[in-house]
Amino acid sequence: MTQYAIYFHQQWVGDHDLEWFLSRVEPSTAVVRDMEEAGVLVFAGGLVEDMAEAFSADGTSGTMVVSDGPYTETTEYLGGITIVDVPDIETAKMWAARVAEGCGWPQEVRVVK
């Protein structure tokens, strides 16, 4: 079996009102329950949107520097991630499609090595 990351950038979510977001809770958590029941879920979770709660660690200079905020200034940042352990890419794509449908926004899939 291979692990795949299914994830999205927060900016892919789009602008919606609270009612719309609340309408996505049940469909998205249903997909996670289905993954648990299928025995493929490793981890699933959204990330805190407040970048003031992020920090970065960089030891490339030979000295470890840990600082507040994201590593780079960027217009896109990771919004959430799901890790599944499945037999093949087609199964990973199927779960990504289910997550995208449940959440209501696009997802990307990559192999975890």
60-81 confidence digits (pLDDT tens): 999 999 988 766 666 678 899 9
pLDDT of residue 71: 64
Q: What is the pTM of this model?
A: 0.85
Measured between alpha carbons, how far is 24 from 36 in angstroms, rounded to an integer? 19
Q: Do 3 and 110 touch, CB atoms closer than 8 A?
A: no
DSSP 42: E
Measured between alpha carbons, how far is 67 from 21 in angstroms, rounded to an integer? 32
pLDDT of residue 72: 65
